[in-house]
Structure 1
Amino acid sequence: MENKNHKKVATQVIGIYILIVVAVTIASCVSTKQNQNSSLIIKEQGAFSAGGTVVKSEGTFDALKPWNVPQGGQTRHGDHADVFYQLPANSKQHSMVFLHGYGQSRRSWQTTADGREGFADIFLRKGYGVYLVDQPGRGDAGQTTKPGQITATPDDQTWFTQFRIGLYPSFNEGVQFPKDSTSLDRFYRMMTPNTGNVDETTIVNAMSAVFDKTGDGILFTHSAGGSPGWKTAIKNDHVKAIVAIEPGGFTFPEGEVPEGNRGGRGVPLNAFLKLTEIPIVVYYGDYIPKEETSAASLSFWRNVLTTAQQWAKVVNAHGGDVTIVHLPELGIKGNTHFIMSDLNSKEIADLLAKWLKEKGLDK
């Protein structure tokens, strides 16, 4: 009797073991299938520099002297853009070129504060080749020809507030930004300084050189990258469309520049009209007040949005195709200044994909 019980227990154990093995095998197959479905097939990737200048010091260089002895007669290569690119198999006709904003590098397009895929990977999966730029004097393009001072002043809370994550230390209600301390730490560590004195013309020249290498493409800009972005499109015919995420400044024609515009002086009308030849979409997020407020950061963005709307009217009045998208008006709420990396970034990407299709830019 006891022997039969032992056999019965053994049979049950074996049965349970078989069920576990089958379950694990099925889960493994499902997981593998999911991983295969989400895999990215990259046909080509690499990095290159674009644009830049070369300066030479006075004097004569002596190759026999030690490396740490200052000498004249030497060159310095700087003021170029640094580009990392990936091209998927069967990539679409137009690639995407991504330019970051102030205090940022290309990482702001590559990832998010909580480690999700960035905008670049989202559109790479949609079949677009992506070119991620570090502008002159930033990130991997740190070598410049004009010196600048790098400070170490603590300013994290300033950017938390300026980027509309909240009024520090409080997060905005319903904000599409991860609230855990690890994500906030990662976000702060994405900030990077200017390594030299770089003017807008230098950035525009470098960005134009990028498009000379990439060919026809869609220019993505963020924040302070917006102003040189307009001028890059004016300078280079390879820019076939612009997607601007919360640009801070705009390029108006001479005589039509509104007070407070951060895009500099106006440009000649014939140059400005280049912006009327391509489709442009501009996105702004949430927490931008309709009325004046005592919070300087919010008043800043209120004025920027007002200028954006004025600019769109001017471009369209000259025959252009500009769309200003204020996300809360579409019922999409909670977005910060970093729309492309907020928690709802895939929703924003899908919204943008519809615009790209409408404009025939998804082929």
Structure 2
Amino acid sequence: MKKIVFFTLLLQIMGSLQAQDLVIARQGHFSVGGQTLKHQGEYDNSKFVGWATQVEAGQSYRSDHAFVDFQIPANAHKLPLVYVHGYGGSGVCWQMTPDGRDGFSTLMLRRGWSSYVMDLPGRGRAGRTSAVTTVKPMADEMFWFDIWRMGIWPNYNEGVQFPTDSASLSQFFREMTPDISDHRQDVFSLNALAEQIGEHVLVTHSAGGFPGWMAAIQNKKVRGIVAYEPGGFVFPEGEVPETITGLTGGASGVPVSMEQFEQLLKIPIVMYFGDYIPETLSKNLGDENWRVRLQMARKFVEVVNQHGGNATLVELPKIGIYGNTHFLMQEMNNNKLADLLTDWLIKTF
């Protein structure tokens, strides 16, 4: 009987320790950036024309801000991580996985790195925008399945790390959110967050990569950039590579002044690209979309380092990590990717 009680207590203690392995010292959310529009005239509170229709005279409208979820673990490292999502999504992509495992930001919290997860203006919980647009339902999931290199619909790529059950795929596509932004406020919101929280490392994904470069150019509080399959790149004027043509429009560099580009030379940069990216022309849209972007990434790293910067490109299959799609940070081996990032952060900072 004593042995049974002992083992019962031991199991309870072990379970308690496992439940407490991540201690959050502080958490919350806030909006950052944006503007307030004010209509001329005087507000008349005696008029009612409807809930969705208003007499706007004298009324204000706050818009174009970003939404930020933050968590600070106990005994956090000095530099927090700011997570920036890509096209068609929100910060949720960093916070969850389709099959219910820890999201990437949680994995990094367990390793002691504070997280600031953004919904960029006009997406997710930052949907109050000044842009005029039309939102309509569009059946596009098979297209994105291919573009994001999960496979060629309805077949998954062999050895894929994305969970292949139907429930996970449904959860994944339900992460997507309308994009009702004009994208003019993205860099402004990143800079506004930098002014509020101080020095940090940007962690970007896909279309979030380009505003990440621009934010680092404009704000010295960005101490480093981690880019997961960024979709666009900047180059010094006069050194922009020729456009690399492909089935989805190809990849072109964006020129910036040398003075601007030099800001990227002052910070460490690491980029991660996943699997299923061919070296030669393909008839598949997803293959082509990322073939040209990976080639442009190589050129970007080359130019940064030629000018004395510190940029590293990690192609995961070349270091023995296989099966990752474009959403590598959500996949079944995201723990390995968190370990890779942790090693880089510790060695770098």
Per the normalisation by structure 2, the TM-score is 0.93
Question: SS where residue 252 of structure 1 aligns?
Answer: strand
Whole-Å separation in 2 of the counterparts to 1:177 and 1:324: 22
Task: Compute the displacement of 1:354 (Å).
Answer: 1.2
Q: 1:262 to 1:292 in 2, by over 3 A?
A: closer
Q: For 1:32 and 1:78, locate their aligned partners in 2 and report how far apart those are by CA, in whole Å.
A: 44
Which residue does 2:110 correspond to in 1? 125
Amino acid at match of 2:32: A
Matched residue, 1:228: 211
Task: Name the counterpart of 1:329.
Answer: 318
- 2:277–2:287: 8 Å Cα contact kept in structure 1? yes
Q: Is the 8 A contact 1:60 1:71 kept in 2?
A: no
Work out which of the residue numbers 164, 168, 171 in structure 2 matches 1:186.
171
Percent identity between the two aligned chains: 44
Give deviations 1:69-90, integer Å, cap 9, x for gaps. 4332322111111111011122
Query: Could you tell me how far apart the structure 2 residues matched to 1:21 and 1:240 are?
Result: 52
**Cα pair 1:248 1:263 within 8 Å, conserved:** no
Structure 2 counterpart of 1:176, from 155, 161, 166: 161
- What residue is the counterpart of 1:309 in the other structure? 298
SS for the counterpart of 2:26 is strand
Q: Residue 255 of structure 1 aligns with which residue?
A: 238
Instruction: Report how far residue 124 of structure 1 moved.
Output: 0.9
1:33 aligns with 2:17: yes
What is the distance in 1 between the residues matched to 2:49 and 2:195? Answer: 36
Which one of 160, 172, 182 corresponds to residue 198 of structure 1?
Answer: 182
What is the deviation of 1:296?
1.9
2:37 aligned partner, one-letter code: V
Q: Does 1:96 align with 2:78?
A: no
Higher mean alpha-carbon deviation, 315-324 vs 46-55, is at: 46-55
Q: How does 1:249-328 map to 2 (within 5 A)?
A: 249-260=232-243, 265-328=254-317
Q: State the 1:270 CA deviation.
A: 0.2
Correspondence for 1:77? 62
Residue 28 of structure 1 and its aligned partner are, at CA, apart by: 3.3
Mapped partners of 2:157, 2:253: distance in 1 = 32
Deviation at 1:198, TM superposition (A): 1.6
Query: Does residue 212 in structure 1 map to residue 201 in structure 2?
Result: no
Asked which structure has the greater CA Rg, the reply is 1
Q: Is the 8 A contact 2:251 2:296 kept in 1?
A: no
Structure 1 spans left out of the alignment, 5+ residues: 1-14
Provide the TM-score with structure 1 as the length reference: 0.89
In the TM superposition, what is the alpha-carbon distance from 1:223 to its structure 2 partner?
A: 0.3
In structure 2, how many angstroms separate the alpha carbons of the residues matched to 1:155 and 1:311?
31
Offset from partner CA, 1:115-136 (integer Å, 9 cap, x none): 1111111111111111010000
- Aligned partner of 2:246 in structure 1 is none
CA–CA separation in structure 1 for the residues paired with 2:275 and 2:82: 25
Q: Which one of the candidate residues 55, 78, 81 is aligned to 2:37?
A: 55
Name the CA distance, whole Å, in 2 between partners of 1:121 and 1:33: 17
The 1-side partners of 2:49 and 2:111 are apart by: 49
**Counterpart secondary structure, 1:224:** helix
Matched, 1:240 2:229: no
What amino acid is aligned across from residue 134 of structure 2 in structure 1?
Q
Cα RMSD after superposing both structures: 1.8
Structure 1 residue 316, shift from structure 2 partner: 1.0
- 2:235 counterpart letter in structure 1: F
Q: Is the 8 A contact 2:251 2:292 kept in 1?
A: no
Which is helix-richer, 1 or 2?
Answer: 1
